[in-house]
Amino acid sequence: MLSSESVEEYLEAIYSFNEKGRIAKNNEISNKLKVSPPSVTQMVKRLADEGLVTYEPYKGTMLTGKGMALAQKVVRKHRLLERLLYDFLGLPREKVHDQACRMEHSITDETMMALCDALNKPETCIDMKPIPECNVDIADCADCSTIRSKIEDEALLTTQLAHLKPGEGGKVAFIRGGGNSTQRIIDMGLTPGTYVKMTNAAPFRGPVEVEVRGTSLALGRRLAGKVFIHVEDDGQPWVRAHPHGPHHKNNL
């Protein structure tokens, strides 16, 4: 069995490259996590077997929709914690990353939402890297306090439609935004509860094609980024362990 912390560490590392529009190469993951290249190869193959990444030897690794949903959650926790530790608790910048690493694996989704609210919804971490969007269907932050107590820990497996890979699918959770873009999405049949399957996706910022109710639709990445999907999941492929163990050293 894979430990939850180990999975999250790898997904975070891969995310740090994918968010820049890059495939994560094994030697880069090795350097970031301070582990041997053979260990990285073995791990990414196991993550691929669990549907969390796509891996091509000699090319690199990309997060799947499910992997992205999990990575966004833990990166969001990490970067919010950095803000708490640095802005409010006054920890030295050089200590903030490692401390956030130790805490990110243990706080609940409810705690993450409360932390975001208390910090007044910061958009970036202390290194000015974007904090992944909230993946809960709320109209604004004022609704957060009323809904977060109902969120089951680790129950959220939601990411933007733009992050799904061909063959992946799930149900529309909600649409974020407003105005003409939201109406256009609804007019295309992408309403909450509707099953969507990704059929084709150009790399990174290119357009995507999805199947909805037997009909093929093409969307630009910007529009697909407004549609949040409950990603299909066969169950957690690892055992959630108590958060102790090695932590990566390089900043995300």
R_g over Cα of the chain: 18
CATH number, domain 72-150, options 3.40.930.10, 1.10.1060.10, 1.10.10.10, 1.10.1240.10: 1.10.10.10
The whole-angstrom distance between residue 2's C-alpha and the CA centroid of its chain comes to 19
**Helix, strand or coil, per DSSP, at residue 187:** helix
- Note the Cα 205 to chain centre separation in Å: 17
Instruction: Take residue 73 and report the two structure tokens written for it.
Output: 């959650």
So what's the pLDDT on residue 244?
40
Residue 219 and residue 163 in contact, taking contact as beta carbons nearer than 8 Å: no
Assign a CATH topology to domain 158-231.
Answer: SH3 type barrels. (2.30.30)
User: Residue 69: which of 11, 9, 151 has the closest Cα?
Assistant: 11
| The pLDDT value given to residue 245 | 44
Give average pLDDT by consecutive 10-residue segment, the chain, 252 residues.
Answer: 85 97 96 96 96 94 95 96 97 96 92 92 96 84 73 70 94 87 91 95 85 94 93 55 43 52
CA distances to 18, 48, 115, 248 from 54, rounded to whole Å, are 12, 5, 32, 22
Pairing status of strand 238-239 against strand 60-63? unpaired
Q: Which two tokens stand for residue 192?
A: 């909450």
Q: In angstroms, rounded to a whole number, what is the distance separating the alpha carbons of residues 178 and 160?
A: 16
Long-range contacts of 201-210 (CB under 8 A, 24+ apart): 201/164, 201/165, 201/166, 204/21, 205/21, 208/161, 208/162, 208/164, 210/161
pTM exceeds 0.75, yes or no: yes
In the chain, residues under CATH classification 2.30.30.90 are: 158-231
pLDDT digits (tens, 9 = 90+) for 162-202: 999 999 999 999 999 877 888 999 999 999 999 999 999 88
Q: Where in the chain is the domain with CATH 1.10.10.10?
A: 2-67, 72-150
| Rounded Cα distance, 83 and 60, in Å | 31
Pairing of β 60-63 and β 53-56: antiparallel
On whether the 2-67 domain is CATH 1.10.10.10, my answer is yes
